[in-house]
Amino acid sequence: MSFDAEISSFIPLDLIVAAPKVLLHDHLDGGLRPQTVLDLAAESGYTNLPASDADSLGRWFSEAAYSGSLERYLETFKHTVGVTQSVGALSRVARECAQDLAADGVVYAEVRFAPELHVEKGLTEREIIEAVLAGFESGVATAAAGGQTIRVGVLLTAMRTAANSRSIAELSVEYRDHGVVGFDIAGAEAGFPPTRHLDAFEYLRRENAHFTIHAGEAFGLPSIWEAIQWCGADRLGHGVRIMDDITVSADGTVELGNLAAYVRDRRIPLELCPTSNVQTGAAESIATHPIGLLRKLGFRVTVNTDNRLMSGTSMSNEMELLSQAFGWGLKDMEWLTINAMKSAFIGFDERLEIINTQVKPGYAQIRAELDTRLNG
């Protein structure tokens, strides 16, 4: 038995936090600190919050999110979006996001948000984007001053239920040398296929720009197929419903359908979000989450938080839950982290540098520390 196998079910949480991690699927408006929501509500005159103290508000978000419905889950965002309608608010939440992720051991993150959701009080989309970029720059600098290294790339999201995707796609290209690394569409899947936004995706492909598409979360294989074959997605946001094209027989034999085989063969990354997937009903539990089988089958799986506030989670929490559910050890954590880094929307040389100078040395250090604790 290998060293990693022997300790696979025993990774102290402090070492999971210290281990370098990479996050590709995290929503800015889904990761606010509860106290920040309260502060911004007071500053802006927003009076619709369901609780008046941070602990109660945090519990409300988590409880509301455990509905088993993506549509109900998305309703919680009316509050976080409602309090982020100013330059100051947007800069603050971006700054705190970078700091929180860095404190959790995340060395590279792609954080997404929809500019069109923050125009209610007159901000232009460019003002919104620049406020978020400035906030991330400040947060990264603050983290660095405290000895924590993180790089943050922004994904601009268009809402699939609206008709603004081409404009947001153009802005993602306009700002791609200023911190924006890609494009996304999000929102309710059923009835709003990705092909409604084909013009945006064709534009992005002409501009050699990167994009991911929320697909295969609340809707099945047709959404995944359109995202890949019609729209040309580089990655799949969630993609957990690819399991609908995988048959597991009673004797344990596994057969991949044509679409699942294509996704695996082409190494199309799956931005899996275990806790969020359980909340929205895309998976029954962490223990039965498809990530376990998809990992065994060699899919390009990555672990993500989706919405840290609503899910009451972090990258370290997700890794701990998966370690407990599947007996995964540091080798698995490193494999998942390198998968994510390989799939990031920054340049190849930058990805390789982070893998070689932060991820691999970081895990070597964690292994040495764990060995010392176990063997004295």
Which residues form the catalytic set?
217
- In DSSP terms, 215 is beta-bridged to 238
Please state, in angstroms and rounded to a whole number, the distance separating the CA atoms of residues 154 and 104: 19
Question: 191-204 in b/e burial notation, b at 16+ Cβ within 10 A?
Answer: ebbbebbbebbebb
Question: Which 8-state DSSP code applies to residue 85?
Answer: -
CB 89 within 8 Å of CB 123? no
Furthest-apart CA atoms within the chain: distance in Å = 62
For 23, counting Cβ atoms within 10 Å of its Cβ (0-12 exposed, 13-18 middle, 19+ buried), the class is buried
Residue type, 190: A
CB 336 within 8 Å of CB 304? no
Angle at 259 between CA 164 and CA 228, to 5 degrees: 20
CB 27 within 8 Å of CB 271? no
Residue corresponding to tokens 């970081």: 362
> Tokens for 238?
């969630």
- In DSSP terms, 183 is beta-bridged to 156, 211
Residue type, 1: M
Please state, in angstroms and rounded to a whole number, the distance separating the CA atoms of residues 49 and 47: 6
Helices (H), 177-217: 198-206
Angle at 340 between CA 334 and CA 342, to 5 degrees: 100
To 10 degrees, what angle do helices 87-103 and 34-44 make?
Answer: 170
Please state, in angstroms and rounded to a whole number, the distance separating the CA atoms of residues 367 and 331: 9
Please state, in angstroms and rounded to a whole number, the distance separating the CA atoms of residues 193 and 221: 11
Distance of CA 133 to the CA centre of its chain: 18
What Rg do the C-alpha atoms of the chain give, in angstroms?
Answer: 20
